[in-house]
Amino acid sequence: MSLDAIRRFHGELTKIRHDLHANPELGMEETRTSEIVAQKLAEWGIEVHRGVGGTGVVGVLRAGNGQATIGLRADMDALPMEEATALPYRSHNAGRMHACGHDGHTTMLLGAARYLAETRAFNGTVNFIFQPGEEGMGGALAMLKDGLFERFPCDAIFAIHNRPGMEVGKYSISNGASAAGGAFFDIVITGKGAHGARPEVSIDPLLVACHIGTALQSIVARNISPSDTAVLSVTRVTGGDAYNVIPNSAKLSGTARTFRPETMKLLETNLCRVADGIATGFGASAAVDFRVIFAPLVNDPEQTLAIADAAAELVGDAHVDRHRPPGMGSEDFSFMMQRVPGAYIQVGNGPGSAALHNPHYNFNDEATPYGAALFARLVERKLPRATSE
């Protein structure tokens, strides 16, 4: 079984993961990470293509004479945040941390690549896709623009993400909508600066920002149908440099999430309306930059069944939740899935894991064989060898 076989070199995979964790790189800057990936793939006899979509890497492995193809994708980038763990392999790069487990995802796909290169127990072509810039940096779109599927055709494509709170050795997936589409927004409010002791001669942009931030919460509550699903969060407020100076401008930033493009457009329209109306009422102005970063992630029914069945072969059907509720997080793998049918599954990271994007988060190395083996078993099921081979 692939799970037992991958456990034979689990120690080597763990060393790779710890090295990646200690040397995190931000989106579209993953030069060291991608070079390690490329070197390992080449070492195992896999055809390597560097620089796909910037710092992306694609490994191509063929076996037999089958024409069917499958794509397996992992993300490589870290987050711009300071690590708060005391791990011996904690981040060496200030202000950068693998707080989402992409170091683990990369390692799981490397584990599958090594196993499949050794066994070649399939008939067709596997494309190992190591994607840069997943964390809002447009890495999936960059690879697509660079001809990802024209250069490396795939009949189906799959990805795995770790899930804190779920036991190691368990999987979960949802058919259809699985992750929300996401947008980022910035609202720049321009007023009139003044001395803090003379507010009467100012148009205070910070006061305007506070009113806009509060009013934006009415959009989901009063403009979105209760039967729909949406989130709008202000996550950053900036403005001013001194205690006694009312600044000339202030800025609100945040994110919007929804499963439907129509709802995303409604969020944008009402956000612009609220920001402009409130700013005008105070005598200020508001300039809005609303940009969609992630498409909704929708699992294909056939491919969802395929990866769920592969997981059940590894751990038993009782350990595979096939009806996980959709989540409001976003994932730019969705852009690849708009082009090729695929599925995106969660693997347990353990009940004691800190949340994703938390400074205390750490990928659980015990989950590595379960991700790698799932990728490998999926390939063997989707690209079966002829019985005479």
CATH of the domain at 170: 3.40.630.10
Mark whether 201 and 224 lie in a shared domain: yes
What residue type is assigned to position 199 of the chain? P
Enter the tokens of residue 358: 């938390």
Q: What is the pLDDT of residue 387?
A: 66
- Rounded distance, CA 346 to CA 101, Å? 12
Q: What is the pLDDT of residue 389?
A: 47
Which of 264, 294, 324 is where one domain is finished? Answer: 294
- Rounded distance, CA 338 to CA 299, Å? 10
Enter the tokens of residue 339: 């082009």
60's CB contacts (< 8 A; 6+ apart) are: 46, 47, 49, 125, 126, 127, 128, 152
CA nearest to 44, candidates 133, 139, 126:
126
Mark whether 143 and 270 lie in a shared domain: no
CA 242 to chain centre: 37
What phi-psi label fits residue 24: left (phi over 0), alpha (psi between -120 and 50 degrees) or beta? beta
Enter the tokens of residue 96: 């950068």
67, part of any domain: yes
Mark whether 151 and 227 lie in a shared domain: no
Contact between 312 and 345 under an 8 Å Cβ cutoff? The reply is: no
Mark whether 334 and 263 lie in a shared domain: no
CA nearest to 77, candidates 35, 114, 117, 31:
31
Mark whether 139 and 221 lie in a shared domain: no
Mark whether 20 and 166 lie in a shared domain: yes
Mark whether 202 and 163 lie in a shared domain: no
Enter the tokens of residue 377: 């078993």
Four-residue CA torsion sign, 344, 36, 84, 26: negative
How is residue 216 annotated by DSSP? T
Q: What is the pLDDT of residue 386?
A: 75
78, part of any domain: yes
Which of 294, 327, 356 is where one domain is finished? Answer: 294
Mark whether 269 and 310 lie in a shared domain: no
Mark whether 238 and 198 lie in a shared domain: yes
127, part of any domain: yes
Mark whether 104 and 185 lie in a shared domain: no
**Positions of E strands within the chain:** 47-52, 56-63, 69-75, 124-131, 156-163, 171-172, 176-179, 181-190, 194-195, 230-238, 245-246, 249-258, 285-294, 297-299, 320-321, 342-348
Contact between 233 and 270 under an 8 Å Cβ cutoff? The reply is: no
284, part of any domain: yes
Four-residue CA torsion sign, 35, 38, 41, 43: negative
373 SS3 class:
helix
Q: What is the pLDDT of residue 1?
A: 73
Mark whether 290 and 307 lie in a shared domain: no
- Rounded distance, CA 103 to CA 363, Å? 8
Instruction: Identify the CATH number of the domain in which residue 214 sits.
Output: 3.30.70.360
Could you give the number of structural domains in the chain? 2
257, part of any domain: yes
271, part of any domain: yes
H/E element, 301: helix 301-315
CA distances from 381 to 5, 186, 224, 327 (A): 17, 46, 43, 28
How is residue 354 annotated by DSSP? P
- Rounded distance, CA 211 to CA 188, Å? 14
Mark whether 111 and 140 lie in a shared domain: yes
Per-residue pLDDT of the chain (389 residues; tens, 9 = 90+): 789 999 999 999 999 999 999 999 999 999 999 999 999 999 999 999 999 999 999 999 999 999 999 999 999 999 999 999 999 999 999 999 999 999 999 999 999 999 999 999 999 999 999 999 999 999 999 999 999 999 999 999 999 999 999 999 999 999 999 999 999 999 999 999 999 999 999 999 999 999 999 999 999 999 999 999 999 999 999 999 999 999 999 999 999 999 999 999 999 999 999 999 999 999 999 999 999 999 999 999 999 999 999 999 999 999 999 999 999 999 999 999 999 999 999 999 999 999 999 999 999 999 999 999 999 999 999 999 976 54
387, part of any domain: no
9, part of any domain: yes
Which of 259, 294, 329 is where one domain is finished? Answer: 294
- Rounded distance, CA 108 to CA 123, Å? 22
130 SS3 class:
strand
Q: Identify the domain containing residue 276 by its residue range.
A: 181-294
